[in-house]
Chain A
Amino acid sequence: MDRTSVKIVVAGGFGTGKTTLVASVSEIPPLTTEELLTEASVGVDDTTGVEGKTTTTVALDFGRITISPDVVLYLFGTPGQDRFWFMWDELAQGAVGAIVLVDTRRLDSSFPAVDYFERRGIPFVTAVNRFFGECDYTEDEIRGALELDPKVPLVWCDARDRGSSKLALITLVRHAMARLPARA
């Protein structure tokens, strides 16, 4: 086998535990890479010109797991603010699939992520991060709130716990494999 990269996206709303999940399973402390953005400020009174434009960066954090001498799995956390959709496109392209983290205190904050992967037919699993112990919702209530397709797996997780994050990853890979055409 040639040197091969495999990508998994870790998505979800702001502060849902994406970086924590990446850190709990990565073999290196999560790294951060930045993309340059510029503000396209075109107004009616556009006299400021180019100097008026601001540049900013959006940070992505990622980790790695060496699978075999030839295969490395990269886990990319999406930027917290979901207005940077073009970054999601870059991350999702060619990915095995995504883990969408859900914080039960703010279920709706993960809805854009669910919607994004659903629309593009990218395999994903939802991982409900319980944060403070017991959760006030049943699985059905969470599925209802996120309008989850019944085929989308839902796992309960603690993003700080390696075993729990590992289970979410395994569930995703199995789900992605189940969607492949039958073995030739």
Chain B
Amino acid sequence: MTLETWDGDDESAAGRFVPLYVLVNGRTAPRDSSLDLATQVVALPVDTRRLEPEYLEILRRCDGWISVAEIGAYLRMPLAITKVMVDVLIEQGYLEVGNPAQQKIIDRHVLDAVLAGLERL
């Protein structure tokens, strides 16, 4: 795994903090831009012997559906890195991906379900 970092924004005003772009396997952002920190993934039953340890560690967390944010929290990895690594695993067929939270108009059926679920709490 190649993991290098660089500061992606040299033009900002002095003293301002900007996101740190992270280079993982030659990429700095998920290929699939809908990969949101709430998007859930689950491991597919495939041969994982060729995977590097860092990726295997992620896959081990994904034996049930789990969000990108949860993976990052449990493995103590920054979001920028988690997202790109999860994206690599999706692309290579190790992970199945659920519906992203990002939808222009949230489905009314989903909101109905959320409301009913909250009322049961």
Q: Name B's interface SS.
A: mixed
Q: How many A-B residue pairs have CB under 8 A?
A: 176
User: Could you say which of A34, A53, A66 contacts B7, with CB atoms under 8 Å apart?
Assistant: A53
Kindly state whether residue A55 has any CB partner on chain B within 8 Å. yes
User: Could you say which of A6, A170, A180 contacts B105, with CB atoms under 8 Å apart?
Assistant: A180
Name the distance in Å between B71's Cβ and chain A's nearest Cβ.
9
Is the Cβ of A42 less than 8 Å from the Cβ of B73? Answer: no
Is the Cβ of B37 less than 8 Å from the Cβ of A90? Answer: yes
| Binary flags per residue of A129-165, CB closer than 8 Å to B gives 1, else 0 | 0000000000000000000000000000000001000
Within 8 A of B (CB), among A84-105: 84, 86, 90-91, 93-96
| Binary flags per residue of A30-72, CB closer than 8 Å to B gives 1, else 0 | 0111111111111100000010010111101010111110011
Kindly state whether residue B109 has any CB partner on chain A within 8 Å. yes
Residues of chain B whose beta carbon lies under 8 Å from any beta carbon of chain A? 5, 7, 9-20, 22, 36-40, 42, 65, 67, 69-70, 72-74, 76, 78-82, 98-103, 105-106, 108-119, 121
Closest A-chain residue to B34, C-beta based?
A: A94
New A-B pairs, 9, CB < 8 Å, besides A1-B113, A6-B110, A180-B111 = A1-B109, A3-B98, A6-B38, A68-B117, A83-B17, A170-B119, A176-B111, A180-B106, A180-B108
Name the distance in Å between A41's Cβ and chain B's nearest Cβ.
6
Is the Cβ of B69 less than 8 Å from the Cβ of A37? Answer: no
- How far is A76 from B69 in the complex, measured between Cα atoms in Å? 10
Name the distance in Å between A120's Cβ and chain B's nearest Cβ.
13
User: Could you say which of B74, B99, B102, B117 contacts A67, with CB atoms under 8 Å apart?
Assistant: B117
Name the distance in Å between A29's Cβ and chain B's nearest Cβ.
11
Residues of B within 8 A of A170 (CB): 115, 118-119
User: Could you say which of A3, A50, A94 contacts B40, with CB atoms under 8 Å apart?
Assistant: A3
Residues of A within 8 A of B108 (CB): 177, 180, 183
